[in-house]
Amino acid sequence: MKSVSIGKKEILVVKDTTVFGITGSLKLVHGTENQSISLASHFDLSKVRVNVQLHRGNSTKTIMNGDLDTLLQYCSYNEDALTSILAGTLNLLTPANSGVKEVAQIPVNLHWGGVIDVQGDDKLEIAFEITDNAANSALDSAVLEFTELEMEGVETITPTIQIHTLTNNNGVFQDSLGSNVKNIMFISRSATSSVEDEKVLNNITLTSGEHQKAVNLNWRLLCARRFEDLYNSININARRQNFLIHGNAPLSGVDIHLDLESPKVVDSKNYLVYSKGEYFK
């Protein structure tokens, strides 16, 4: 277990085990008695950097590298815990009261979609950095504790998470994602609600070796599929304009085309994220 505070970076080195992801929590302490903590007002998850590197032989593979906000939204898409985080509902360890400073906690659980067998001379480095501007000055402290999430399994292919940042005011994004691709997701941190007037993504076209013809999904079809995944309006509203484009079945030869509402594509707040298996021996 490692812990990191504001303005600091900590690296956890993992050896001789099989790892599925990262588990931990972020604890926030208000600086004033009888005052409540608001995630939206007091802490910016996007100011926490996460970087996971696998060192094997003479080579290094990036497993994931991005901000905590985007990675949580990707890794926890179907989980109720994400609904609470996006809605700003915190787990209160010590509620605000007269003479008492509020202490709140946010679960941090990230996984990369498969196991990594860290054996022999292999070394997995998990780094968290909380930048100086992540927390509002009203907080006394913000400390993130984290450790590896172990799971039994066999690493047939090395899992990674790939993040493409969409550029400002761009109405089109297209790319070849390659093979062994799954869990393709569009994430918008600029959108404030799930209504159609707020939409960022208009339409997607996806082709792969597993599809006999191109898959075309407009915004309303994406919404219908999301309702099937998330079951209720509370979960859906919390995810705003985030959509799972393709699920857990690996695809080969993937090409993707996104049509976007260009005025709503804000730099460093809209992403295409997906899991990709790579052969790394």
pLDDT tens digits along 194-244: 899 999 999 999 999 998 889 999 999 999 988 887 777 777 888 889 999
Q: Class assignment of domain 162-274?
A: mainly beta
| pLDDT on residue 213 | 87
Position 54: which residue type? L
pTM of the model: 0.93
Residues of the chain with CATH 2.60.120.20: 162-274
**d(Cα 127, Cα 231) in Å, to the nearest integer?**
35
User: Is 111 a residue whose pLDDT tops 90?
Assistant: yes
Q: What share of the chain is helix, strand, coil (3-state, %, to 5)?
A: 15, 50, 30
The DSSP secondary-structure symbol of 16 reads S
Q: Encode 150-213 in three state secondary structure.
A: ECCCCCCCEEEEEEEECCCCCCEEEEEEECCEEEEEEEECCCCCCCHHHCCEEEEEEECCCCCC
Q: Tokens 């972020």 sit at which residue?
A: 26
| pLDDT on residue 128 | 98
| pLDDT on residue 243 | 94
Position 180: which residue type? N
Mean pLDDT, rounded, for 151-164: 95
* 4-34 per-position pLDDT tens digit: 999 999 999 999 999 999 999 999 999 999 9
Right CATH number for 2-150 from 3.30.160, 1.25.40, 2.70.9, 1.10.10? 2.70.9
Confidence of residue 170 (pLDDT cuts 50, 70, 90): confident
Mean pLDDT, rounded, for 131-160: 96
| pLDDT on residue 199 | 93
Beta bridge partners of 109: 23
Please give the span between the terminal C-alpha atoms of the chain, in angstroms, as a whole number.
27
Residues of the chain with CATH 2.70.9: 2-150
Of 248 and 53, the structure prediction assigns the larger pLDDT to 53
| pLDDT on residue 179 | 96
* 52-108 per-position pLDDT tens digit: 999 999 999 999 999 999 999 999 888 888 888 887 778 999 999 999 999 999 999
